[in-house]
A and B are shown apart, each in its own frame.
Chain A
Amino acid sequence: MDRIDIYPTHTYEGYKLRPGQVFPFGATIVPGGVNFSVFSSHGTACTLVLFKKGEPQPMVEIPFFDEFRIGNVYAMTVFDLDYENIEYGFRVEGPYDPQAGHRFDPSKILMDPYAKLIGGRDGWGTPPDWNNVYPHRARPLLSDFDWENDKPLEIPPEDLIIYEMHVRSFTRDESAGVRPSVAGTFAGIIEKIPYLKALGVNAVEFLPVYEFDEFENSRINEETGELLVQYWGYSTVGFFSPKAGYAATGKDGMQADEFKNLVKELHANGIEVILDVVFNHTAEGNENGPYISFRGLDNRTYYMLTPEGYYFNFSGTGNTLNCNNPIVRGMVLDALRYWAAEYHIDGFRFDLAAILGRDQNGAPLPNPPLLEQLAFDPILAKCKLIAEAWDAGGLYQVGSFPSYGRWGEWNGKYRDAVRQFVKGDPGLLDEMAQRLQGSPDLYWSRGPMASINFITAHDGFTLNDLVSYNDKHNWANGEGNNDGANDNNSWNCGWEGPTDDPWINDLRRRQMKNFTTLLMVSQGIPMFLMGDEVARTQDGNNNTYCHDNKLNWFDWTQTETNADMLRFFQNIIAFRHAHPVLRGNTFMQHRDYVGSGYPDMSWHGTEPWDPDWTGQALAFMLCGKHAKGGAVQDDYIYVAINVYWDALWFHPPQPPQGMNWYVAVNTAMPSPQDIAEPGTEPILSDQSAVLLGDRSIMILVGR
């Protein structure tokens, strides 16, 4: 028996149609055809525009009949379409009245905001045809990927070590040694999974992978003649589509399969996938920008507008998505649910998330419905939700971001304090005590997992440049060195940029190891930037958003030339994994609640039990009997930190009877004495005193 709901009931220019299903939004492959559903609150009529794949002009334009509209939703099923060989868009009629917020223009072909696959820019860097009537083209997608037994890993957040990386940068350079056909792609990353495993990270956080336009605002740097592009991708074209140019198979429209396969392979190797998502603005820019989708579908709904109808610019990029409009909120939720369910994504980092807490006029909301909804959503329930808790409009919410007990934050205060502390600024011990504990001063009600600790990220200096430059050197960006942050809290160790001076180079290496050691012994979730483990440099450029070149590409020869750094990273990461006492899910109580005779965490100075909060030396001890609140047994760990310019004697506390101190890390020592592989730590020769070199950190393990 045939179902009656799949019979055509209408025809138009030979195409068989019937009123569509309003849900789900977007294009859905249904028995016999494709269902299209799109909404516009202020539009007055809508037309479906169908192209044969890649053709310059449409093959047909089918108006949505009046009986195809339910409320503000236009829905229609078109039969007998070869779903893999078509592209679709919409024309929407409505008022053009910018002051009232309306910019309808039926001469434009608009992309579906719910497009699951976007063609038209199938290979990275292929110069676009600027005369294309419809450059970013929505396509239907088959969603029946074979995940076998895969599901999101649900690693406890406090056990994560996050590696922030750019898809293209990771394997684009020839030195990556991947097959040329997959260089710089999702598939290329798969070939480097063994490297990630050996490094020890268990989560990768990808800079934006949603479809974006690398040619947005592309320009030639007049000094260098180099093409500058939208390289990082913080400018979304489509919230439901992986970037075709990041897929080796993008030319064949298989980017969704390729990205899913990457997620599956990373999961099979114990590595979670976190996406950096940009819901604060779109690639349509301000009133001078192009019509891609939202502007022509429902401008007043999707964007925050001034009373005069101009675009608010809280994102610093021209427009601001109207995230607390109920319709936009629904789209954001739909997108995140889609990535969690269809792509098995483990977590999301929200770019400029403070914007998501602003009302439709831009004022910060005390109880932002979008953030609350995401926090309590059943599909997102196990996803990590991480906020970049500030925006370009001056809202800074580190420590006060509305969290509902669910949201973590990029802890910008951790970054700033640790940078100042390690370079030797005085007066930071009180704050460092908070940062090392997971910032209870900021996250008391949430626990240390709320604190994503980081020293470097894509914004700002790399770790190498943090210890090699006092000032940013952004001339290659073609903006007169005016872009990028000025408050870097960096120190060049005595010379600006590369030097042959062995004393300076030794100090820089030590400082990099000091930073990394502090990061890995801090409670909370550590994150670091791709390449820091091999001292990757950007030549002092702290804002490389526009460079598709060696300023951003991972130089794999550094895994050999800086093998000592890589070894240090591998072992300090292994050290963190080996010691649950470093990965608490509750804050330290500074008392003995398991009867070990030692508090869970205790502070010391150069003398045991006697911290000097005014100096430049600090030590702390973690009692292994209190690991994970006493639930598991671990070694004791003692960390001595000397940020003073001269060596200092440290006297570690007496360990429990029968226990000795072993030296896990001493950053004053050259490689390989700087760090021992976990389990091979040599015994501390004098158990009661140790001379720690200037600007150095030592970790002792009591067992």
Chain B
Amino acid sequence: MEVQIRTVDDITVVEPSGEIDSNSAPELQEQMTPLLQPGAKLLMDMSRVEFMSSAGLRIMLLIYRQMADTGKIVLVGLTPGIQDSMSATGFLKFFTLADTLDEGVKVLNG
């Protein structure tokens, strides 16, 4: 897994790629922890994530909840396969989703 982080205006865009599982999830958590600042706006572009395991989903939820407490976070571009897994396991409804980056930005600025 790799993580790219860039800033567009006041929004931080995090773009992980590859597989998020028990092996890689701690690294994602480590890279994202500094971003969890009060008032931060975080857009996670998930379109290059090929697989999320059970542990991966848990770390995502952890990050999401920490972020939602202090700022705003939205997920964009989940692949249909991952979306199916998240739906079947109940994880999907914990997250705010958007279909496209533009929509995600709108949600964060809304």
- B-binding residues in A (CB < 8 A): 82-85, 142, 144, 146, 179, 181-182, 185-187, 247-249, 252-254, 256-258, 260-261, 264-265
C-alpha gap A104/B45 in the complex (Å): 53
The smallest beta-carbon distance between A259 and chain B, in angstroms, is: 9
Q: Is the CB of B54 within 8 A of A257?
A: yes
Cβ of B57: which chain A residues have Cβ within 8 Å of it? Answer: 257
Cβ of A261: which chain B residues have Cβ within 8 Å of it? Answer: 88-90
Contact of B88 among A84, A142, A144, A254 (CB under 8 A): A254
With A142-B55, A252-B85, A253-B54 as known contacts, state yes or no: A84 contacts B22, CB within 8 Å. Answer: yes
With A142-B54, A144-B58, A181-B84 as known contacts, state yes or no: A83 contacts B90, CB within 8 Å. Answer: no
Q: Is the CB of B51 within 8 A of A252?
A: yes
Q: Looking across the interface, which residue of chain A has its beta carbon closest to that of B52?
A: A252
Q: Is the CB of B21 within 8 A of A85?
A: yes
Q: Is the CB of B89 within 8 A of A258?
A: yes
Number of interface residues of B (CB under 8 A): 18
Cβ of B90: which chain A residues have Cβ within 8 Å of it? Answer: 146, 257, 260-261, 264-265
With A82-B23, A85-B21 as known contacts, state yes or no: A254 contacts B54, CB within 8 Å. Answer: yes
A-B contacts, 25 of them at CB < 8 A, read: A82-B22, A84-B21, A84-B23, A84-B53, A84-B54, A84-B55, A85-B21, A146-B90, A179-B84, A186-B88, A187-B88, A252-B51, A252-B54, A252-B85, A253-B53, A253-B54, A254-B53, A254-B88, A256-B54, A257-B54, A257-B57, A257-B89, A260-B90, A261-B90, A264-B90
Cβ of A249: which chain B residues have Cβ within 8 Å of it? Answer: 84-85, 88-89
Cβ of A260: which chain B residues have Cβ within 8 Å of it? Answer: 90
Cβ of B22: which chain A residues have Cβ within 8 Å of it? Answer: 82-85
Most chain A CB neighbours (cut-off 10 Å) among B21, B22, B51, B61: B22
The answer, yes or no, to whether B100 is at the interface (CB within 8 Å) is: no
Cβ of A144: which chain B residues have Cβ within 8 Å of it? Answer: 58
Question: Chain B contact residues: over half helix, strand or loop, or mixed?
Answer: helix
Cβ of B94: which chain A residues have Cβ within 8 Å of it? Answer: 146
The answer, yes or no, to whether B33 is at the interface (CB within 8 Å) is: no
Q: Is the CB of B61 within 8 A of A258?
A: no
Q: B36-64: which have CB < 8 Å to A?
A: 51, 53-55, 57-58, 61
The answer, yes or no, to whether B87 is at the interface (CB within 8 Å) is: yes
The smallest beta-carbon distance between B87 and chain A, in angstroms, is: 7
The smallest beta-carbon distance between B78 and chain A, in angstroms, is: 14
Cβ of B91: which chain A residues have Cβ within 8 Å of it? Answer: 257
C-alpha gap A256/B90 in the complex (Å): 12
Cβ of B23: which chain A residues have Cβ within 8 Å of it? Answer: 82, 84-85
Q: B85-110: which have CB < 8 Å to A?
A: 85, 87-91, 94
Contact of B87 among A142, A187, A256 (CB under 8 A): A187
Cβ of B58: which chain A residues have Cβ within 8 Å of it? Answer: 142, 144
The smallest beta-carbon distance between A282 and chain B, in angstroms, is: 27
Cβ of A85: which chain B residues have Cβ within 8 Å of it? Answer: 21-23
Q: Looking across the interface, which residue of chain A has its beta carbon closest to that of B22?
A: A84
Contact of B61 among A83, A146, A265 (CB under 8 A): A146
Q: Looking across the interface, which residue of chain B has its beta carbon closest to that of A147?
A: B90
Most chain B CB neighbours (cut-off 10 Å) among A181, A247, A254, A265: A254
